[in-house]
Amino acid sequence: MKLHLDTSTPTTILKLDGKTYEWESGRDLAENLLGFIRDKLAENNATWQDITEITLMSGPGSFTGLRIGASVVNTLASELNIPLYDHHGEKHQIILPDYGRGANISAPKK
């Protein structure tokens, strides 16, 4: 089963073998993403071990959303020993999010 994940916006998109699921994750993404994936796998009579490859929409997009999505798919791909791709179709050992621009880091106040 192929898993595609897009956490670049407040609406999380999960695709499992062509079936698309959307979730208005908002600020609950980190806490509930794995449960959302698990529940959708169960709806398809599948388990984590049935995933054969993972694709991540790696950006640009939400800084936090992309970080969370990348952390989840990197961990799953590593633990399940399955291939991991970015949305351009390039295979990766790990995926680094593409935020679309450099970090906007403020100078220390002191």
| pLDDT of the residue at 107 | 80
∠67-72-77 over CA atoms, to 5°? 125
Distance in angstroms (rounded) separating the CA atoms of residues 98 and 2: 22
Kindly list the distances between the CA atom of residue 43 and the CA atoms of 6, 60, 70, 80, in Å, as whole numbers in the listed order: 19, 30, 24, 20
| pLDDT of the residue at 103 | 62
| pLDDT of the residue at 28 | 93
Distance in angstroms (rounded) separating the CA atoms of residues 50 and 1: 6
Is residue 106 pLDDT above 80, yes or no?
A: no
Compute the average pLDDT of residues 50-65. 94
Pairing mode, strands 2-6 and 11-16: antiparallel
Q: What are the extents of the domains in the chain?
A: 2-92
Q: Is 96 left (phi over 0), alpha (psi -120 to 50) or beta?
A: beta
Is residue 100 pLDDT above 90, yes or no?
A: no
- The burial of 87, by beta-carbon neighbours within 10 Å (0-12 exposed, 13-18 middle, 19 or more buried), is given as middle
CATH 3.20.20.70 holds for 2-92: no
